[in-house]
Amino acid sequence: MIDIAVFQAIPGETGEPLEEFSLKDEYRPEEWRKGRFKGVVQRGTYRGLEIVLAQTGIWSSSGRLGNTQAKEVAEFVLNRFPVEKIVILGTSGGMKESLKTGDIVICDPIFAERRFLFWTRILPPIFPDSRLQTLAIKILKEKSINFYNGGDLMIPYYGWPKRRYPDIAVIEMEDYYIGEEAKKKKVPFVAVRVVSEPFGEEIIPREKRTKEYQAWLDARYRKITTILRDGFLLPFLQQL
């Protein structure tokens, strides 16, 4: 039995690698090698826990469907391993002006936006496990970390939606797919995101970034992922 599967999209989203993680198996199927960020699944142990670390990578077969590789990786993990619970972690864009870089959001519920030729559809919400959310709240309070509860919207592209959604706190590209697979397998899950870009911040394409801007961006990324790792992930694993 696998005590927990931890999902992130790209390397470093949950901070530095777990120092006490002992690797047993690693999976890198060829079909996950398409995008710039590849999919990787590692099975091992951490402080007596049987754990799976899943990096979904980023890939979409359609610009209207979001990071479809997250669905592939989640299916792989849940079909191969008897997982007891799931935590989804990572950076996100803020959708509320009150949210600043480094703020942590416990996501509930989770929606997905679908874009078609001339219209946009919001899929029915998925609700994370209430017991895992209660544990997340307990941990963040113990660490004296300010956090927010709010809706999470999976979008099919980089950037912000053209419409404002009053009930949405953060946006990302993976959570609905992972949560959907967890629901199918009846595996409880929780999603916790840290705000990387506050609402409305311009995202400069990689090919147009200066060295100075990239260095600043990298430093900010390391800072906020450390908040997520040390403020939430490590104490979460230790209290399971």
Q: pLDDT averaged over the chain?
A: 93
pLDDT at 183: 98
pLDDT at 114: 84
> Mean pLDDT throughout 62-69?
80
Residue 50: which pLDDT band, with cuts at 50, 70 and 90? very high
Dihedral through CA 205, CA 207, CA 213, CA 218, nearest 10?
A: 80
pLDDT at 128: 98
pLDDT at 159: 73
b/e code 6-37 from CB counts within 10 Å (16+ = b): bbbbbebbbbeebeebeeeeebeeeebeeeeb
With H, G, I as helix, E, B as strand and everything else as coil, classify residue 60. coil
Residue 65 has pLDDT above 90, yes or no: no
Tell me the pLDDT tens digit for each residue of 69-120. Answer: 999 999 999 999 999 999 999 999 999 999 999 999 999 999 999 877 677 8
According to DSSP, the β-strands at 168-172 and 104-115 are: unpaired
Residue 66: which pLDDT band, with cuts at 50, 70 and 90? confident
Of 1-10, 164-173, 185-194, the least confident: 164-173
- Residue 223 is part of a domain; what is its CATH number? 3.40.50.1580
Higher-confidence position of 204 and 138: 138
Tell me the pLDDT tens digit for each residue of 7-48. Answer: 999 999 999 999 999 999 999 999 999 877 899 999 999 999
- For residue 174, count CB atoms less than 10 angstroms from its CB and return exposed for 0-12, middle for 13-18, buried for 19 or more: buried
The domain in which residue 201 lies consists of: 4-238
pLDDT at 190: 98
Residue 205: which pLDDT band, with cuts at 50, 70 and 90? confident
Residue 121: which pLDDT band, with cuts at 50, 70 and 90? confident
pTM to 2 decimal places:
0.94
Helical H segments across 40-83, by residue range: 68-80
Number of domains in the chain: 1
Tell me the pLDDT tens digit for each residue of 141-178. Answer: 999 999 999 999 999 877 778 777 889 999 999 999 99
Higher-confidence position of 65 and 128: 128
